[in-house]
Structure 1
Amino acid sequence: MDFETVMQELEALGKERMKKMYVSNGAHEPVYGVATGAMKPIVKQIKRDQQLAEQLYTTGNYDAMYFAGIIADPKAMAATDFERWIDGAYFYMLSDYVVAVTLSESDIAQEVADKWIDSGEELKMSAGWSCYCWLLGSRKDQEFSESKIASMLDRVKHTIHDSPERTKSAMNNFLYTVGISYRPLTEKAVEVSKEVGVIEIKRDNKKSSFLNAHESIQKDLDKGRVGFKRKYVRC
C-alpha cells in the first residue's frame, strides 16, 4: 500500500466526534479524527514499513503521524531519526503515545530517553519519562539497573512539583509504573509516591486535574497486580 492510498484510507475513516476530541487535547489541523481501532485493518496489510512511516510522519497530519508510529520499524531507527520525530511531536499525544512508544521498542531506548529527560524541554522530558513507563511495563526487570531506577525515583521526588505540566503527568506515570511493574523497587515507589502526594496538572482553558500515584499504586497492589507486564506496547 503506497502513501497516497494510506492517506485516502485514513481520511475516509475520519469521524467528526473523534476529531473534536483530538483537537480538545491539543491536536491541530490537519487532522481527520480516526479512531485507533479503525486503523487495524490497514496495519494488517502493511505490518512494518519504515520508509512509508517516515513519509506519513512528515505530513504533520495527526492521524498519519499516529499511524506512522504503528508501522514503524524501531530497530531500523537511529538516534537522529528519533530526534526528528520528537521535534515534530507538537503535543503530548504524539510525544508520549507515538514517539515514546516507538522508541521503547528500539535498542537505544534508554540512552535516548535519558537525553530527553535531561533536555529541559517539556515534551522531550515527557517523552523520556513516558518511554521508561513503556519499557518498565513490558520488559523483564533484569534489563534495568536498579540503582538507576532508584535515582530516577529520587529525581521525581525532588523535582516533580516544579516541572512543566506534561512532564509532571509523565513523571507521575513513572512513579506508578515502577510501583506496579518493577518488583525490585515497589516499596520505594510506594514511599516516594506517598511523599510526593497529590499532583496538580494545570490545563489551558480547562479545570486542573489532580493525580495521586500513591492511591493508584495501592489500588493495584490490593488487586494483586504487582509485577504486571504488557505483552505488546504498540497496537
Structure 2
Amino acid sequence: MEVIGMTDTVPELLAELAALDDPRAREVNERNGDDHGVNLGKLRAIAKRLKAQHELALELWATDETAARLLALLICRPKAFSEAELDAMLRESRAPKVHDWLVNYVVKKSPHAEALRLRWFDDADAVVASAGWALTIDRVAKRPDGLDLPGLLDLIEAELVDAPERKQWAMNHCLAQIGISHPALRARALAIGERLEVLKDYPTPPNCTSPFAPAWINEIVRRQELAAAGS
C-alpha cells in the first residue's frame, strides 16, 4: 500500500503549484497551447520528492488542472493503467504538454502501447491520431519489424499536406524517422519531403535542426556518419 505523507495531500500540492505560477512562464506556455505557468524543472523537483504514488497521481489527474496533471504523469505507475484508462486519459488531454508527456512517459511504458497505437492511428480525432503516429515513430526507430514502412510512406505522401497541425507534425516526424532509420527508404522519404515542402519555411533558431523532413534527415544522417567515422 502506498502511504501519502501529511504534506502530500492534493489541496496542498495544488497550493504549492499555484505558488510556483510565473506570469512569464505562463505567457510562453500559452503561446504553445499550455494553460499553466509552472517551471517544469520545479515541477520535476516536486515529483522527485513525492516519488511514485499512483493513487495520488489519480487524484491529481482528476483535478483537470494542467500543472497537476503533468505532476501526476511524473509520479504515476505506467503499468498500472488499463488500456481503457489510457484511452480515456488521452482523449481528455488537450494541452499539448500533457498529451506529449502522457504518450512518452506513460503509454510507451505500458503493456498496452501497441494496442493503443493501432486503436489511435486512424482515429477521427486528429489529436488522438497524432498519438498513434507518435507511437508509430517509436516503432519505426526501435522495433520496425512487422511495420509496413512503404505503406506508411504512401499514407504520408497522400495525407501530409492537408493533415491538421498536430497530426501533420507527427506524420512529418514519421517521414523523417523513416528516412533516418532506414537507408533503403531514404531516397523516397527525401523525395516525398522535397515534393510536399511541408514545414520548409518553418522558422528555425540557429543551431537547431529544421523540421523540414529533407533537412532533418540529412542533418541527422550527417551526424551519425561523423560519429561512426570518429569511433
Report the TM-score when normalising by structure 2: 0.79
Aligned residue number for residue 195 of structure 1: 192
Q: Specify the code of the residue in structure 2 equivalent to 1:3.
A: V
Contact kept, 8 Å, 1:66 with 1:98, in 2: the verdict is yes
Q: 1:225 to 1:130 in 2, by over 3 A?
A: farther
- Please list, as runs of the form range in 1=range in 2, the aligned pairs for 1:98-177 lying within 5 A after superposition: 98-101=101-104, 102-134=106-138, 141=142, 143-177=143-177
Q: Is the 8 A contact 1:190 1:214 kept in 2?
A: no
Give percent identity, aligned residues only: 22
Between Structure 1 and Structure 2, which shows a larger proportion of strand residues? Answer: 1
Verify the 8 A CA contact 1:153 1:189 in the aligned structure 2.
no
Q: Counterpart in 2 of 1:77?
A: 81
Structure 2: any 5+ residue segments left out of the alignment? 1-7, 201-209
Pairwise mapping of residues 204-215 of structure 1 onto structure 2 (< 5 A)? 211-215=211-215
CA contact (8 A) 1:122 1:167 kept: yes
For residues 93 and 193 of structure 1, what CA distance do their matches in structure 2 show? 29
Give the aligned residue type for 1:156.
I
Q: What is the SS of the residue equivalent to 2:224? A: coil
Distance 1:87 1:41 in 2: 27
1:15-30 matches, cutoff 5 A: 15-28=22-35
Structure 1 counterpart of 2:55? 51
Cα distance change of structure 1 residues 195 and 49 upon mapping to structure 2, 3 Å threshold: same
Q: Counterparts of 2:26 and 2:66 in 1: how far apart (Å)?
A: 10
Task: Tell me the secondary structure at the aligned position of residue 113 of structure 1.
Answer: helix
More displaced, 40-49 or 113-122? Answer: 40-49
Query: What is the root-mean-square deviation of aligned Cα atoms in Å?
Result: 2.5
SS at match of 1:223: helix
Structure 1 portions without partners, runs of 5+: 202-209, 228-235
Question: After TM superposition, what 4+ stretches of structure 1 lie above 6 angstroms from structure 2?
Answer: none
Deviation (angstroms), 1:99: 2.2
1:210-225 residue pairs with structure 2 within 5 A? 211-224=211-224
Greater CA deviation, 149-158 or 6-15? Answer: 149-158
Shift of 1:223: 1.1
Decide whether the 8 Å contact of 2:179 with 2:187 is kept in 1. Answer: yes
TM superposition shift of 1:5: 2.6
Matched residues in 2 for 1:196 and 1:170: separation? Answer: 14
Once residues 135 and 105 of structure 1 are traced to their aligned partners in structure 2, the CA distance between those partners, rounded to angstroms, is 13
**Deviation readout 1:47-82 (Å, 9 max, x if unpaired):** 222222222122221111112222221111111111
Larger radius of gyration: 2
Per the alignment, do residues 8 and 146 of structure 1 end up closer, same or farther by CA in structure 2, a change over 3 Å counting?
same
Letter in 2 for 1:161: V
Q: Deviations over 1:13-70 (max 9, x none)?
A: 2211111112222234xx3x11211122211122222222222122221111112222
**Partner residue, 1:231:** none
Residue of structure 2 aligned with 1:11, choices 18, 41, 49: 18
Aligned length: 208
Aligned-residue offset at 1:192: 2.0
2:21 corresponds to which letter in structure 1? G
Instruction: Confirm or deny that 1:38 pairs with 2:42.
Output: yes
Structure 2 CA distance for aligned equivalents of residues 88 and 225 of structure 1: 42
